Protein backbone atom coordinates (compact mmCIF):
# COMPACT_ATOMS: atom_id res chain seq x y z
CA UNK A 1 0.00 0.00 0.00
CA UNK A 2 1.27 3.44 -0.86
CA UNK A 3 0.20 7.05 -1.03
CA UNK A 4 -0.03 8.45 -4.53
CA UNK A 5 0.39 12.20 -5.10
CA UNK A 6 -1.02 13.44 -8.40
CA UNK A 7 1.11 16.31 -9.70
CA UNK A 8 -0.19 18.83 -12.21
CA UNK A 9 1.48 20.30 -15.26
CA UNK A 10 0.25 22.39 -18.14
CA UNK A 11 2.31 22.69 -21.33
CA UNK A 12 5.32 21.30 -19.49
CA UNK A 13 5.11 23.84 -16.64
CA UNK A 14 4.49 22.53 -13.12
CA UNK A 15 1.65 23.87 -11.06
CA UNK A 16 3.41 24.84 -7.81
CA UNK A 17 0.62 23.35 -5.73
CA UNK A 18 1.96 19.98 -6.88
CA UNK A 19 4.87 20.32 -4.46
CA UNK A 20 2.58 21.12 -1.54
CA UNK A 21 0.60 17.98 -2.36
CA UNK A 22 3.79 15.94 -2.52
CA UNK A 23 4.80 17.37 0.88
CA UNK A 24 1.41 16.42 2.33
CA UNK A 25 1.81 12.91 0.91
CA UNK A 26 5.27 12.56 2.45
CA UNK A 27 4.09 13.78 5.86
CA UNK A 28 1.17 11.38 5.86
CA UNK A 29 3.41 8.63 4.51
CA UNK A 30 5.85 9.07 7.41
CA UNK A 31 3.05 9.07 9.98
CA UNK A 32 1.19 6.13 8.47
CA UNK A 33 4.34 4.17 7.59
CA UNK A 34 3.53 4.07 3.90
CA UNK A 35 5.76 4.74 0.90
CA UNK A 36 4.95 7.66 -1.39
CA UNK A 37 4.73 7.69 -5.15
CA UNK A 38 3.80 10.50 -7.51
CA UNK A 39 2.19 10.61 -10.93
CA UNK A 40 1.99 13.20 -13.67
CA UNK A 41 -0.26 12.98 -16.72
CA UNK A 42 0.25 14.31 -20.23
CA UNK A 43 1.94 13.72 -23.53
CA UNK A 44 5.71 13.25 -23.38
CA UNK A 45 6.01 14.02 -19.67
CA UNK A 46 8.71 11.47 -18.76
CA UNK A 47 11.55 14.00 -18.69
CA UNK A 48 9.43 16.46 -16.75
CA UNK A 49 8.56 13.67 -14.30
CA UNK A 50 12.25 13.15 -13.61
CA UNK A 51 12.45 16.68 -12.16
CA UNK A 52 10.12 15.68 -9.33
CA UNK A 53 12.53 13.10 -7.91
CA UNK A 54 11.51 9.94 -6.04
CA UNK A 55 9.27 7.28 -7.49
CA UNK A 56 7.00 8.75 -10.11
CA UNK A 57 4.64 7.50 -12.80
CA UNK A 58 4.69 9.29 -16.14
CA UNK A 59 1.16 8.60 -17.38
CA UNK A 60 1.50 9.24 -21.07
CA UNK A 61 -0.96 9.36 -23.94
CA UNK A 62 -1.58 11.73 -26.83
CA UNK A 63 -5.23 11.93 -25.75
CA UNK A 64 -4.19 13.46 -22.39
CA UNK A 65 -3.40 16.76 -24.17
CA UNK A 66 -5.34 18.97 -23.98
CA UNK A 67 -6.87 18.16 -20.60
CA UNK A 68 -10.36 16.63 -20.54
CA UNK A 69 -12.19 15.25 -17.52
CA UNK A 70 -13.01 12.06 -19.45
CA UNK A 71 -9.40 11.28 -20.45
CA UNK A 72 -7.96 12.10 -17.02
CA UNK A 73 -10.58 9.98 -15.27
CA UNK A 74 -10.03 6.98 -17.57
CA UNK A 75 -6.25 7.26 -17.37
CA UNK A 76 -6.12 7.54 -13.59
CA UNK A 77 -8.68 4.79 -13.14
CA UNK A 78 -6.38 2.48 -15.09
CA UNK A 79 -3.31 3.58 -13.12
CA UNK A 80 -5.05 3.13 -9.76
CA UNK A 81 -6.27 -0.35 -10.65
CA UNK A 82 -2.70 -1.22 -11.59
CA UNK A 83 -0.78 0.51 -8.77
CA UNK A 84 -3.36 -0.02 -5.97
CA UNK A 85 -2.57 2.97 -3.74
CA UNK A 86 -4.29 3.28 -0.37
CA UNK A 87 -4.68 7.05 -0.65
CA UNK A 88 -4.62 9.38 -3.65
CA UNK A 89 -3.84 13.06 -3.02
CA UNK A 90 -4.46 15.89 -5.47
CA UNK A 91 -3.70 19.62 -5.41
CA UNK A 92 -7.09 21.38 -5.14
CA UNK A 93 -6.77 23.18 -8.48
CA UNK A 94 -9.52 24.16 -10.91
CA UNK A 95 -8.49 21.16 -13.03
CA UNK A 96 -8.71 18.73 -10.11
CA UNK A 97 -12.09 20.15 -9.15
CA UNK A 98 -13.23 19.16 -12.64
CA UNK A 99 -12.44 15.42 -12.51
CA UNK A 100 -11.17 14.08 -9.15
CA UNK A 101 -14.62 13.60 -7.59
CA UNK A 102 -15.75 11.77 -10.74
CA UNK A 103 -12.75 9.44 -10.43
CA UNK A 104 -13.49 8.83 -6.75
CA UNK A 105 -17.16 8.09 -7.55
CA UNK A 106 -15.99 5.49 -10.05
CA UNK A 107 -14.43 3.64 -7.11
CA UNK A 108 -17.54 4.18 -4.96
CA UNK A 109 -15.65 6.76 -2.89
CA UNK A 110 -16.05 10.44 -1.99
CA UNK A 111 -13.22 12.90 -2.54
CA UNK A 112 -12.32 14.65 0.74
CA UNK A 113 -11.94 17.94 -1.08
CA UNK A 114 -10.02 21.06 -0.15
CA UNK A 115 -8.38 19.75 3.02
CA UNK A 116 -6.29 22.07 5.17
CA UNK A 117 -4.54 19.57 7.45
CA UNK A 118 -4.56 16.10 8.89
CA UNK A 119 -3.81 14.09 12.00
CA UNK A 120 -3.16 10.42 12.55
CA UNK A 121 -4.79 8.89 15.63
CA UNK A 122 -4.41 5.21 16.46
CA UNK A 123 -3.12 4.58 12.94
CA UNK A 124 -6.23 6.19 11.45
CA UNK A 125 -6.11 9.24 9.21
CA UNK A 126 -8.37 12.20 9.96
CA UNK A 127 -8.48 15.02 7.43
CA UNK A 128 -9.40 18.60 8.33
CA UNK A 129 -11.86 20.48 6.10
CA UNK A 130 -13.62 23.80 6.40
CA UNK A 131 -17.40 23.95 6.63
CA UNK A 132 -19.78 26.89 6.26
CA UNK A 133 -17.30 29.00 4.29
CA UNK A 134 -14.63 28.64 6.95
CA UNK A 135 -16.80 29.35 9.99
CA UNK A 136 -16.34 25.79 11.30
CA UNK A 137 -13.77 23.06 10.82
CA UNK A 138 -14.51 19.36 10.55
CA UNK A 139 -12.36 16.26 10.93
CA UNK A 140 -13.47 13.71 8.37
CA UNK A 141 -12.54 10.07 8.07
CA UNK A 142 -12.89 7.44 5.40
CA UNK A 143 -15.27 4.64 6.34
CA UNK A 144 -14.49 2.20 3.52
CA UNK A 145 -11.17 0.60 2.63
CA UNK A 146 -8.73 1.78 0.00
CA UNK A 147 -8.52 3.62 -2.26
CA UNK A 148 -9.29 6.92 -0.53
CA UNK A 149 -9.17 10.30 -2.23
CA UNK A 150 -8.39 13.81 -0.97
CA UNK A 151 -7.42 17.18 -2.45
CA UNK A 152 -5.15 19.67 -0.69
CA UNK A 153 -5.96 23.37 -0.36
CA UNK A 154 -3.38 25.83 -1.69
CA UNK A 155 -1.00 26.94 1.05
CA UNK A 156 -2.11 24.29 3.57
CA UNK A 157 1.23 22.44 3.42
CA UNK A 158 4.66 23.90 2.87
CA UNK A 159 6.48 22.44 -0.11
CA UNK A 160 9.53 20.42 0.99
CA UNK A 161 12.87 20.24 -0.73
CA UNK A 162 12.70 17.77 -3.59
CA UNK A 163 14.24 14.37 -3.00
CA UNK A 164 17.85 14.29 -4.05
CA UNK A 165 19.19 11.52 -6.23
CA UNK A 166 17.88 10.19 -9.49
CA UNK A 167 14.14 9.92 -9.95
CA UNK A 168 12.70 6.51 -10.60
CA UNK A 169 10.40 7.26 -13.52
CA UNK A 170 8.06 4.54 -14.74
CA UNK A 171 5.97 5.11 -17.81
CA UNK A 172 2.35 4.01 -17.76
CA UNK A 173 0.32 4.05 -20.97
CA UNK A 174 -3.41 4.00 -20.18
CA UNK A 175 -5.77 2.35 -22.67
CA UNK A 176 -7.58 5.48 -23.95
CA UNK A 177 -9.92 5.55 -26.92
CA UNK A 178 -10.85 8.80 -28.72
CA UNK A 179 -14.56 7.90 -28.44
CA UNK A 180 -14.37 8.02 -24.65
CA UNK A 181 -13.65 11.76 -24.75
CA UNK A 182 -16.94 13.58 -25.12
CA UNK A 183 -15.91 17.20 -24.55
CA UNK A 184 -14.15 19.18 -27.26
CA UNK A 185 -11.91 21.75 -25.55
CA UNK A 186 -10.77 24.87 -27.39
CA UNK A 187 -7.53 26.71 -26.57
CA UNK A 188 -7.46 28.75 -23.33
CA UNK A 189 -7.62 32.53 -23.70
CA UNK A 190 -7.42 35.67 -21.58
CA UNK A 191 -10.01 38.41 -21.57
CA UNK A 192 -9.02 41.96 -22.52
CA UNK A 193 -6.04 43.40 -20.67
CA UNK A 194 -6.80 44.29 -17.08
CA UNK A 195 -7.30 47.98 -16.50
CA UNK A 196 -6.57 47.87 -12.79
CA UNK A 197 -3.49 46.26 -11.34
CA UNK A 198 -4.46 45.80 -7.72
CA UNK A 199 -1.20 44.01 -7.01
CA UNK A 200 0.64 47.33 -7.37
CA UNK A 201 -1.51 49.11 -4.75
CA UNK A 202 0.07 49.76 -1.34
CA UNK A 203 -3.27 50.23 0.39
CA UNK A 204 -6.48 48.43 -0.55
CA UNK A 205 -9.97 48.98 0.84
CA UNK A 206 -12.00 45.93 -0.02
CA UNK A 207 -15.75 45.63 0.24
CA UNK A 208 -18.00 42.60 0.62
CA UNK A 209 -21.59 41.53 0.99
CA UNK A 210 -22.01 43.60 4.16
CA UNK A 211 -22.39 46.72 2.02
CA UNK A 212 -25.85 45.35 1.12
CA UNK A 213 -26.55 47.63 -1.85
CA UNK A 214 -24.68 49.24 -4.71
CA UNK A 215 -26.02 52.61 -3.54
CA UNK A 216 -24.01 52.25 -0.34
CA UNK A 217 -20.66 52.06 -2.14
CA UNK A 218 -19.83 55.77 -1.50
CA UNK A 219 -19.35 54.81 2.16
CA UNK A 220 -16.26 52.76 1.28
CA UNK A 221 -15.23 54.98 -1.61
CA UNK A 222 -14.79 57.84 0.86
CA UNK A 223 -12.56 55.67 3.06
CA UNK A 224 -10.49 54.60 0.04
CA UNK A 225 -10.12 58.21 -1.01
CA UNK A 226 -9.05 59.32 2.48
CA UNK A 227 -6.35 56.64 2.45
CA UNK A 228 -5.31 57.07 -1.17
CA UNK A 229 -6.26 53.41 -1.56
CA UNK A 230 -7.49 51.26 -4.44
CA UNK A 231 -11.01 49.96 -4.04
CA UNK A 232 -11.42 46.19 -4.35
CA UNK A 233 -14.16 43.68 -3.61
CA UNK A 234 -14.99 40.09 -2.80
CA UNK A 235 -16.60 37.92 -5.44
CA UNK A 236 -20.31 38.51 -4.68
CA UNK A 237 -19.93 42.26 -5.21
CA UNK A 238 -18.48 41.70 -8.68
CA UNK A 239 -20.99 38.91 -9.42
CA UNK A 240 -23.72 41.47 -8.77
CA UNK A 241 -22.04 43.89 -11.14
CA UNK A 242 -21.63 46.53 -8.43
CA UNK A 243 -17.90 46.77 -9.15
CA UNK A 244 -16.08 45.49 -12.26
CA UNK A 245 -14.64 41.95 -12.17
CA UNK A 246 -11.13 43.39 -12.47
CA UNK A 247 -11.44 44.69 -8.90
CA UNK A 248 -12.10 41.25 -7.47
CA UNK A 249 -9.64 39.83 -4.94
CA UNK A 250 -9.55 36.08 -4.38
CA UNK A 251 -8.96 32.72 -5.99
CA UNK A 252 -10.85 33.70 -9.12
CA UNK A 253 -9.65 37.30 -9.10
CA UNK A 254 -6.37 38.99 -8.26
CA UNK A 255 -3.92 38.00 -5.55
CA UNK A 256 -2.69 41.01 -3.60
CA UNK A 257 -0.25 41.69 -0.76
CA UNK A 258 -0.41 45.43 0.01
CA UNK A 259 1.04 46.94 3.18
CA UNK A 260 -2.51 47.64 4.38
CA UNK A 261 -5.66 45.73 3.50
CA UNK A 262 -8.95 46.87 5.02
CA UNK A 263 -11.73 44.33 4.61
CA UNK A 264 -15.13 45.95 5.03
CA UNK A 265 -18.18 43.71 5.40
CA UNK A 266 -16.26 40.71 4.08
CA UNK A 267 -16.87 37.47 5.97
CA UNK A 268 -13.66 35.89 4.70
CA UNK A 269 -14.58 32.78 2.73
CA UNK A 270 -11.46 30.84 1.84
CA UNK A 271 -11.77 31.89 -1.81
CA UNK A 272 -11.27 35.47 -0.68
CA UNK A 273 -8.61 34.78 1.97
CA UNK A 274 -6.24 33.07 -0.45
CA UNK A 275 -6.15 36.28 -2.47
CA UNK A 276 -5.18 38.63 0.37
CA UNK A 277 -3.79 36.81 3.40
CA UNK A 278 -0.24 37.76 2.41
CA UNK A 279 -1.01 41.45 3.11
CA UNK A 280 1.31 43.04 5.67
CA UNK A 281 -1.37 44.53 7.91
CA UNK A 282 -4.97 43.39 7.72
CA UNK A 283 -7.92 45.23 9.23
CA UNK A 284 -11.35 43.64 9.38
CA UNK A 285 -14.60 45.53 9.97
CA UNK A 286 -17.56 43.19 10.29
CA UNK A 287 -20.70 42.91 12.37
CA UNK A 288 -20.24 39.15 12.88
CA UNK A 289 -17.54 38.51 15.48
CA UNK A 290 -17.27 34.88 14.33
CA UNK A 291 -16.56 35.82 10.68
CA UNK A 292 -13.44 33.96 9.45
CA UNK A 293 -11.91 37.25 8.26
CA UNK A 294 -10.97 37.91 11.90
CA UNK A 295 -8.76 34.77 11.77
CA UNK A 296 -6.32 36.57 9.50
CA UNK A 297 -6.80 40.15 10.73
CA UNK A 298 -4.23 42.08 12.79
CA UNK A 299 -6.87 44.56 13.90
CA UNK A 300 -10.58 44.05 14.05
CA UNK A 301 -13.61 46.17 14.74
CA UNK A 302 -16.82 44.26 15.40
CA UNK A 303 -19.62 46.60 14.49
CA UNK A 304 -21.94 48.13 11.93
CA UNK A 305 -19.83 49.16 8.95
CA UNK A 306 -22.24 52.02 8.22
CA UNK A 307 -21.22 53.57 11.54
CA UNK A 308 -17.60 52.43 11.75
CA UNK A 309 -16.43 53.24 8.22
CA UNK A 310 -17.57 56.91 8.16
CA UNK A 311 -16.01 57.38 11.61
CA UNK A 312 -12.78 55.83 10.35
CA UNK A 313 -12.75 57.97 7.20
CA UNK A 314 -13.20 61.04 9.37
CA UNK A 315 -10.36 60.08 11.73
CA UNK A 316 -8.04 59.41 8.80
CA UNK A 317 -8.90 62.72 7.15
CA UNK A 318 -8.24 64.38 10.51
CA UNK A 319 -4.89 62.60 10.93
CA UNK A 320 -3.80 63.56 7.40
CA UNK A 321 -4.59 67.23 8.05
CA UNK A 322 -2.65 67.32 11.27
Partner 1 sequence: MKILVAVKQVPARDAPLRIDASGRWIQEDGLSFEINEPDAYALEAALQLKEKHGGEVVVVSAGPARAAQAIREALAKGADRAIHVDQERLENWDTLGVAGLLARAMESEKADLILTGLQSDDLGYGQMGCVLAELLGLPHATIIMQVEKLDGAVKVKRELEDGWFQNLELPLPALLAVQSGIGKLRYATLMGIKRAKTKEIRRVTAAEMGVEPAPAIEIARVYLPPKSKQTELLEGSPKEAAQKLVERLRFVARVI
Which residue in 31, 139, 160, 197 binds partner 1 (CB under 8 A)? Answer: 139
Name residues contacting partner 1, limited to 156-195 (CB under 8 A): 182-191, 194
Closest separation in Å from C-beta 56 to partner 1: 23
Residue 320 has phi, psi (to 5 degrees) of -70, -30
Which residue in 14, 129, 216, 278 binds partner 1 (CB under 8 A)? Answer: 129
Which residue in 46, 83, 217, 302 binds partner 1 (CB under 8 A)? Answer: 302
Confirm if 135 and 98 have CB atoms less than 8 A apart: no
How far is Cα of residue 175 from the mean position of the Cα atoms in its chain? 31
Counting contacts by CB under 8 A, is residue 304 touching partner 1?
A: yes
Counting contacts by CB under 8 A, is residue 238 touching partner 1?
A: yes
Name residues contacting partner 1, limited to 11-70 (CB under 8 A): 69-70
Which residue in 37, 60, 74, 114 binds partner 1 (CB under 8 A)? Answer: 114
From residue 49, give the alpha-carbon distance in Å to each of 41, 53, 69, 82, 106.
9, 8, 21, 19, 26
Which residue in 9, 135, 170, 221 binds partner 1 (CB under 8 A)? Answer: 135
Counting contacts by CB under 8 A, is residue 284 touching partner 1?
A: yes
Nearer to partner 1, 137 or 171 (CB): 137
Residues 110, 236: Cα–Cα separation, whole Å: 29
- In the 8-state DSSP scheme, what is residue 64? G
Helix (H, G, I), strand (E, B) or coil at 270: helix
Nearer to partner 1, 47 or 281 (CB): 281
The H or E element containing residue 125 is: strand 124-131
Amino acid sequence: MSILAILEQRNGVWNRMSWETLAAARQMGRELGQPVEAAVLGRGVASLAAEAGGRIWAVEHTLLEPYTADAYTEALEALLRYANPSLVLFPHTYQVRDYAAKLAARFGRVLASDIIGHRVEGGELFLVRQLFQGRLNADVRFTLGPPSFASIQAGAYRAEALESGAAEVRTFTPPLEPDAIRARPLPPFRESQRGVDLSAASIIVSVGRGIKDRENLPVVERLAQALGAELAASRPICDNGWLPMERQVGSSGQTVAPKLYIAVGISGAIQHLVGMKGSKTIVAINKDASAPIFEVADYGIVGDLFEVVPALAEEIEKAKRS
